[in-house]
């Protein structure tokens, strides 16, 4: 193993830790995995944590993350069954995997009888029972080597969930993932790796809920790889409600075959610093994706949504809508790149991001990019940032709606466009309640 020593101490300490932990990481007997881990460490070693000079990290500063001495093997504070109901949305789910500080907790989880041809297990178990499947999934979706945090995840990845659907298998009920962050003797870091392998014409909906059960800091470094074969439909809905001191960095990749459809929705309201980065490759005709996000940030919270969509084949389409509300000194970031490759004729790509600023000190940074190398395409992007509509506020108040309630209504209406547009109808009400509560807490 050769690792180039990076410049800063924080990055070096992660590599030192990797050297110590390496023999104890899951799947240590699998040569291909050892190679993946070493390659991840080496890639991270070349750059260390990205700084502002790294283009894709220009608006998200990791200085505060580097200051914390996170532990990769601290024992989590206890979490029991009794503390779970308050954390999950809606009706009792028959299929729920619970993770505490990144580690799978079978005692808290419930896995219903899935239809034949569907497998849902922890990453650790998958490595033990179906290493070939995990290898296939990870190799097929090699994360963008230019992202140092995804590389770090490749080195350390220790648990997560693996969902595999054989051809034609359809899951009626959503699969629920509850990822709980709790305190530990030392602020914990966990590198979660999730894999979703959807065979031809299979269907699944995944609801991920990340929630903090503590007020202290932790670092959740997530990578999720989606592989959608021809005609597969995967809906992914993620709610990020981490502790207000937490760091949540999530990197997702998705590869779509012909007529496959990928829906991603990310709702962010927690964390001191969070980032959702999604890379989608539309590889065959008819592949289509919808990437949507909503966020509510206040205080000094920072939320980054970064999307990279590659149209690699003719007749692919993508719709992106991100909307956020920023209060206090919060900072929102949206970066969206759409690349239409030379043969990708008749690409249809639409991207929009809008931010509502409730305070003079809130800030929004937007960077839409279109790179088009085909001539017969429809592509559009737009970005706005502004305050609440004065006239609408006056109109509501003149009809007797008190000022704060009027603001709340307008904020809910603003985000409503994204929430109503999301595929998973059952999540709309809980999300709307989250918005009302957030507005209520502002007062």
Partner 1 sequence: MLEIKDLHAAVDGKEILTGLTLSIGPGEIHAIMGPNGSGKSTLSYVLAGRDGYEVTGGEVLLHGESLLEMTPEERAAAGVFLALQYPVEIPGVTNMSFLKHALNGVRVQRGEEELDAAAFLKLVREKTKTLGISDDMLKRAVNVGFSGGEKKRNEILQMSVLEPSLAVLDETDSGLDIDALKVVAEGVNALRGPARSMLVITHYQRLLDYIVPDFVHVLAGGRIVESGDKNLAKELEAKGYAEFVPEAA
Q: Which residues bind partner 1 (CB under 8 A)?
A: 389-392, 394-403, 405-406, 409-410, 412-414, 416-417
Nearer of residues 125 and 412 to partner 1, judged by Cβ: 412
Q: Are 114 and 95 in contact (CB under 8 A)?
A: yes
Could you tell me the smallest distance in angstroms from the CB atom of residue 386 to partner 1?
A: 14
CB nearer partner 1, residue 23 or residue 400: 400
* CB contact at 8 A, 285 and 299: no
Pair 355, 363: CB distance under 8 Å: no
DSSP-assigned beta bridge partners for residue 295: 268, 324
Shortest Å distance, C-beta 432 to partner 1: 11
Task: Give the nearest distance from C-beta 402 to partner 1 in angstroms.
Answer: 5
**Distances in whole angstroms, Cα of residue 64 to Cα of each of 249, 363, 378, 383:** 13, 18, 41, 28
Cα(333)–Cα(325) distance, rounded to whole angstroms?
Answer: 12
Instruction: Tell me the closest approach of the beta carbon of residue 412 to partner 1, in angstroms.
Output: 7
Q: How far is the CB of 325 from partner 1 (least distance, A)?
A: 13
Distance of CA 266 to the CA centre of its chain: 7
Evaluate the CA torsion angle 208, 142, 14, 45 in order and state its sign.
Answer: negative
Q: Which is nearer to partner 1, 379 or 409 (CB)?
A: 409
Smallest distance from the beta carbon of 29 to partner 1, in angstroms?
Answer: 55
Residue placing its CB nearer to partner 1 in the complex, 300 or 428? 428
* Pick from 336, 263, 323: nearest CA to 296: 323
Minimum CB distance to partner 1 smaller for 243 or for 434: 434
**Alpha helix (H) residue ranges in 320-402:** 390-398
Measured in whole angstroms, how far is the alpha carbon of residue 336 from the centre of its chain? Answer: 15
C-beta of 231 vs 293, nearer to partner 1: 293
By beta-carbon proximity to partner 1, the closer residue of 228 and 355 is: 355
Q: From CA 283, how far away is CA 316, in angstroms rounded? A: 8
Closest CA to 272 of 239, 236, 304: 304
Question: In Å, how far are 105, 185, 241, 247, 369 from 77, measured between CA atoms?
Answer: 13, 8, 18, 18, 43
- Closest contact distance (angstroms) between CB of 414 and partner 1 is 6
Q: Which is nearer to partner 1, 67 or 443 (CB)?
A: 443
Backbone angles phi, psi at 242, to 5 degrees: -70, 170
Q: Give the nearest distance from C-beta 388 to partner 1 in angstroms.
A: 11
Closest to 349 (Cα-Cα) out of 386, 381, 308, 305: 381
């Amino acid at each position: 193993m050769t690792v180039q020593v990076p410049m800063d101490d924080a990055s070096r300490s992660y590599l030192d830790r990797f050297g110590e932990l390496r023999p104890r990481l899951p799947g240590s007997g699998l040569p291909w995995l050892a190679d993946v881990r070493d390659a991840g460490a080496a890639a991270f070693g070349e750059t260390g944590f990205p700084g502002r000079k790294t283009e894709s990290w220009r608006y998200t500063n990791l200085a505060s993350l580097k200051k914390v001495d996170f532990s990769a093997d601290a024992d989590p504070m206890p979490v029991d069954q009794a503390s779970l109901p308050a954390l999950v949305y809606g009706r009792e789910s028959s299929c729920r995997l619970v993770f505490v500080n990144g580690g799978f907790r079978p005692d808290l989880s419930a896995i219903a009888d899935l239809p034949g041809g569907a497998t849902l297990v922890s990453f650790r178990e998958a490595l033990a029972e179906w290493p070939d499947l995990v290898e296939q999934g990870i190799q097929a979706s090699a994360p963008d080597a230019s992202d140092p945090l995804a590389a770090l995840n490749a080195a350390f990845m220790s648990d997560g969930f693996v969902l595999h659907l054989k051809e034609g298998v359809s899951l009626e009920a959503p699969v629920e993932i509850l990822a709980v962050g709790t305190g530990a003797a030392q602020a914990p870091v966990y590198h979660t790796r999730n894999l979703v392998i959807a065979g031809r014409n299979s269907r699944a909906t995944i609801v991920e809920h990340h929630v903090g059960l503590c007020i202290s800091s932790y670092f959740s470094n997530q990578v999720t790889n989606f592989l959608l074969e021809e005609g597969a439909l995967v809906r992914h809905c993620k709610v990020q409600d981490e502790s207000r001191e937490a760091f949540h960095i999530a990197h997702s990749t998705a590869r779509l075959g012909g007529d496959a459809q990928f829906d991603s929705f990310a709702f962010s309201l927690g964390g001191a610093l969070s980032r959702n980065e999604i890379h989608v490759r539309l590889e065959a005709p008819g592949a289509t994706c919808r990437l949507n996000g909503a966020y509510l940030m206040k205080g000094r919270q920072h939320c980054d949504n970064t999307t990279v969509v590659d149209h690699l084949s003719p007749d692919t389409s993508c719709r992106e809508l991100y909307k956020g509300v920023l209060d206090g000194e919060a900072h929102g970031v949206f970066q969206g790149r759409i690349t239409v490759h030379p043969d990708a004729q008749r690409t249809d790509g639409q991207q929009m991001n809008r931010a509502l600023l409730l305070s003079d000190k809130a800030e929004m940074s937007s960077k839409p990019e279109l790179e088009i190398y085909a001539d017969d395409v429809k592509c559009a992007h737009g970005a706005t940032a502004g305050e609440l509509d004065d006239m609408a506020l006056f109109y509501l108040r003149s009809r007797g709606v008190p000022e704060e309630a009027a603001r709340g209504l307008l904020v809910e209406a603003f985000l409503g466009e994204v929430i109503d547009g999301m595929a998973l109808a059952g999540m709309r009400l809980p999300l709307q309640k989250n918005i009302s509560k957030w507005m209520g807490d502002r007062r």
